[in-house]
Amino acid sequence: MRFKFALNTTTIQLRIITNMPYLTRGQTHYGGVQNEKDLVSLLNLHSTMNLNTCVQEKAQCAQAPIWRHLGGTTQKADCDVTVGSQCFQVSIKNHENTGTFDWINTSKLTEFNPELGASIKTAIDQFKLANHGKDVTPALRSEVANLFNAEFDKISSDQIKNLLWTLYAKYPEYVLVNHKKDNKLVMYPKEDNFPEFVAHRDWEYYFKTSKAKTSRMLFRRKDGQEVNTHLRMRLVLNNGVGALLGKSDTNKCSIPCLKIQQDKVDMLLSGLVNAVVDDVVQNHNKNTKKSALDILAEVCSQAQPMAETQTQPMAETQTQPMAETQTQPMAETAM
């Protein structure tokens, strides 16, 4: 945050840096955890947060945890935390007021289902060849949606269960949800908290359609009992139809990808085992501005006064009346 003001003829520029102290109720005061890097900075700044105590107990080490953000898209962990000689990987999920978050977003469709991968690639390649360079219209978007809609029938129950099982096996040890609606950070171990991924191997998994053609709700059934897993599979283009047809300024390509998304996030969080929660309170803008102005006033009060100068009165002058002039009429011009 920068403030700029003029003091006499000198320009002073300040940069206000605010800390995130604990409140009296044990809550963490912060200016906004908007992404993984903000969250890592917050956890490194406050070593006594419940999340840090959790990993200290797991490692049986009293040293302050050191969090590190992990870049790139080749790994499922968004960050890791080191305590002494032990390191734990963490996947970070941002949860807004409504909506879902992704468990997986992959373009490796052939590894999941060779028939599906080959079929989708052929269909999308043909669509691109026929329409490249065209402006994106609702009709073209609908055509792409219909292509993906037809592919879900190629996915079997065993393939769904194997995908979920493999995803669980490769997932980081901890999941950390930035629950923005409730101003909470919720961290939990993957053990005992992924029942829909690994606990029902003898059930049949199947799809139910939804309004979106590129999306299916995932259910399971056994002995006449039917259960909504609150998981959703989506088949989409990672950068949209515009990039596929060469009409995007930001993305030059767009490829098919598969997503597994979590619906009903609040329901998921309410049933967690061994979850650890930290309450956080967002620093409202008006409070931040007030604090900055207080600092600004203090700086101004400590500024050295400018040397006083004697101001000489201006000499009086006699004002001579202006000579009268004759105003000549302007010459007329022909239009």
5-61: pLDDT as tens digits: 443 433 333 332 233 322 323 444 444 445 788 899 999 999 999 999 999 999 999
> What pLDDT is stored for residue 216 in this prediction?
97
> What pLDDT is stored for residue 282 in this prediction?
58
Residue 332 has pLDDT above 90, yes or no: no
> What pLDDT is stored for residue 317 in this prediction?
46
- Domain ranges for the chain: 1-18+283-304, 19-282
Question: pTM of whole model > 0.75?
Answer: no
Residue 312 has pLDDT above 90, yes or no: no
Residue 197 has pLDDT above 50, yes or no: yes
> What pLDDT is stored for residue 182 in this prediction?
87
Query: What is the tens place of the pLDDT at every residue in 210-236?
Result: 889 999 999 999 999 999 999 999 999
In this predicted model, which residue has the larger pLDDT, 189 or 334?
189
- Region of residue 192 (left: phi > 0; alpha: psi -120 to 50; beta: else): left
SS3 track for the chain = CEEEEEECCEEEEEECCCCCCECCCCCEEECCCCCHHHHHHHHHHCCCCHHHHHHHHHHCCCCCCEEEECCCCCCCCCEEEEECCEEEEEEEEEECCCCCEEEEEECCHHHHCHHHHHHHHHHHHHHHHHHCCCCCCHHHHHHHHHHHHCCHHHCCHHHHHHHHHHHHHHCCCEEEEEECCCCEEEEEECCCCCHHHHCCCCCEEEEEECCCCCEEEEEEEECCEEEEEEEEEEEEECCHHHHHCCCCCCCCCCCEEEEEEECCHHHHHHCCCCCEEEEEEECCHHHHHHHHHHHHHHHHHCCCCCCCCCCCCCCCCCCCCCCCCCCCCCCCCCC
Distance CA 168, CA 76 (A): 11
Query: What is the tens place of the pLDDT at every residue in 159-169?
Result: 999 999 999 99
Task: Tell me the pLDDT band of 4, cut-offs 50, 70 and 90.
Answer: very low
Span 265-277, mean pLDDT? Answer: 94
> What pLDDT is stored for residue 34 in this prediction?
56
Span 82-102, mean pLDDT? Answer: 90
Task: Tell me the pLDDT band of 280, cut-offs 50, 70 and 90.
Answer: confident
* Percent of residues, the chain, with pLDDT higher than 70: 72
> What pLDDT is stored for residue 180 in this prediction?
84
> What pLDDT is stored for residue 54 in this prediction?
96
> What pLDDT is stored for residue 227 in this prediction?
98
Span 246-266, mean pLDDT? Answer: 94
Query: What is the tens place of the pLDDT at every residue in 99-128?
Result: 789 999 999 999 999 999 999 999 999 999
Q: How many CB atoms lie within 10 A of CB 306?
A: 10
Least trusted range by pLDDT, from 7-11, 35-39, 69-73, 193-197: 7-11
> What pLDDT is stored for residue 93 in this prediction?
92
Residue 138 has pLDDT above 70, yes or no: yes
Residue 149 has pLDDT above 80, yes or no: yes
> What pLDDT is stored for residue 159 in this prediction?
96
Task: Tell me the pLDDT band of 130, cut-offs 50, 70 and 90.
Answer: very high
Mean pLDDT of the chain: 80
> What pLDDT is stored for residue 35 in this prediction?
76
In this predicted model, which residue has the larger pLDDT, 320 or 85?
85
> What pLDDT is stored for residue 160 in this prediction?
97
